[in-house]
A = this chain, B = another copy of it.
């Protein structure tokens, strides 16, 4: 056939999921070393290493345009992103790998800044660089720089997989959502970005703060591409429950809402790169919020809860009291958000 790759396939939303399920999963052996494998489509995969411990590993590539933006750069993003994907499995980040693909003629000074930002993130968590790769593509054959990173961590059980959410559980978010997505969107549309900036940062400290609740911390997720909308749908689907969230409880900066309105996009589908969503037993809701605030996540809030009933549905109670289904994002407005 004469079909070709669309931007939507790279959106991180429903189209990406469909592509992976249709064109990749059927070709490969999936379950491997006895842990969480690709068929679960979690943030990371795991390899049991004895004593109830798991090595957790995750890969992402970063193509963000522009590579420097308010709040960070592609290096900070690439290191934080893959380490966050292992953190939301419940793993303490331990090691990082990087594959840099850079355009001939890219300023060496900028590359140094990017590498420094990667190192700053890694060093802040005592994460070691295990290895990497460096390729240069001729001028014009790649736009500036792309970085793939692998995050590696070690988790004790329980792993925070998404199937663990149960009816009655509360859904907590660490802070305002959509900052990263709105910032990059605004930059790509040449809108003035004033106080708005990307939230990119490691979120391991939030997971760590809640690990002490043991089994009562059920699941965790970083709402990156596809935003809160995609993340909540994945939790609902994977756990076989429905989810209700309250629009007026979802922390979001006014500017983010404004940009989303201006550009006609669903604000809840905008990527966050420095927030986490947690599913917790209702018995620890208040303590969990307290623990997050103490750790510096001052705007942590409960935004909804897990319900039984129809599996895989996310219902948004709107500000005006209505109900609307919050779908998995479809299509792609702008690429290279992360």
Secondary structure at the A interface, as helix, strand, loop or mixed, is mixed
Q: Pick from A31-39, A227-235, A255-263, A265-273 the stretch touching chain B.
A: A31-39
Q: Mark A129-156, 1 if CB is under 8 A from B, else 0.
A: 1111111111011110010101010000
Asked whether A29 lies within 8 Å of B94 as measured between CB atoms, the reply is no
Taking CB atoms, residues of chain B closer than 8 Å to A104 are 4-7, 335
Asked if A9 is at the interface of the complex by the 8 Å CB criterion, the answer is yes
Asked if A189 is at the interface of the complex by the 8 Å CB criterion, the answer is no
Asked if A101 is at the interface of the complex by the 8 Å CB criterion, the answer is yes
Asked whether A130 lies within 8 Å of B6 as measured between CB atoms, the reply is no
Asked whether B49 lies within 8 Å of A128 as measured between CB atoms, the reply is no
Asked whether A28 lies within 8 Å of B141 as measured between CB atoms, the reply is no
CB < 8 Å neighbour of A128 from B32, B57, B111, B132: B32
Asked if A213 is at the interface of the complex by the 8 Å CB criterion, the answer is no
Asked if A10 is at the interface of the complex by the 8 Å CB criterion, the answer is yes
Q: How far is the CA of A30 from the CA of B65 in the complex (A)?
A: 29
Quick one: closest B residue to A49, CB to CB?
Answer: B49
Q: Which of A1-39 contact B (CB under 8 A)?
A: 1-10, 16, 19-20, 23-25, 27-33, 37-38
Q: How far is the CB of A201 from chain B (nearest CB, A)?
A: 18
Asked if A320 is at the interface of the complex by the 8 Å CB criterion, the answer is no
Copies of this chain in the oligomer: 2
Asked whether B30 lies within 8 Å of A128 as measured between CB atoms, the reply is yes
* Contact (A131, B44) CB under 8 Å given A59-B148, A142-B141: yes
Asked whether A99 lies within 8 Å of B23 as measured between CB atoms, the reply is no
CB < 8 Å neighbour of A102 from B5, B95, B103: B5
Q: Which of A46-97 contact B (CB under 8 A)?
A: 47, 49-50, 55, 57-61, 63, 65, 94-95, 97
Q: Pick from A114-122, A160-168, A274-282 the stretch touching chain B.
A: A114-122
Quick one: closest B residue to A116, CB to CB?
Answer: B27
Asked whether B135 lies within 8 Å of A63 as measured between CB atoms, the reply is yes
Interface centre among A1, A19, A94, A100 (most CB of B within 10 A): A100
Asked whether A106 lies within 8 Å of B4 as measured between CB atoms, the reply is yes
Given pairs A5-B108, A24-B129, 18 additional interface contacts (CB within 8 A): A3-B108, A4-B105, A5-B107, A7-B136, A23-B111, A24-B115, A27-B115, A27-B118, A28-B122, A32-B127, A45-B130, A49-B55, A57-B152, A59-B131, A59-B132, A61-B148, A63-B135, A141-B336
Pull 26 A–B residue pairs with CB atoms less than 8 Å apart, ordered by A: A5-B111, A5-B136, A9-B102, A9-B136, A10-B102, A19-B134, A24-B132, A27-B119, A30-B129, A37-B130, A45-B130, A47-B55, A55-B55, A57-B57, A57-B131, A57-B150, A61-B133, A63-B101, A99-B99, A101-B146, A135-B335, A135-B336, A137-B335, A138-B336, A141-B336, A150-B150
In the A-B complex, the 6 residue pairs with the smallest Cβ-Cβ separation, listed nearest first, are A10-B136, A32-B128, A27-B119, A148-B148, A28-B129, A141-B143
Q: Which residues of A contact B (CB under 8 A)?
A: 1-10, 16, 19-20, 23-25, 27-33, 37-38, 44-45, 47, 49-50, 55, 57-61, 63, 65, 94-95, 97-109, 111-112, 115-116, 118-119, 122-123, 126-138, 140-143, 146, 148, 150, 152, 332, 335-336
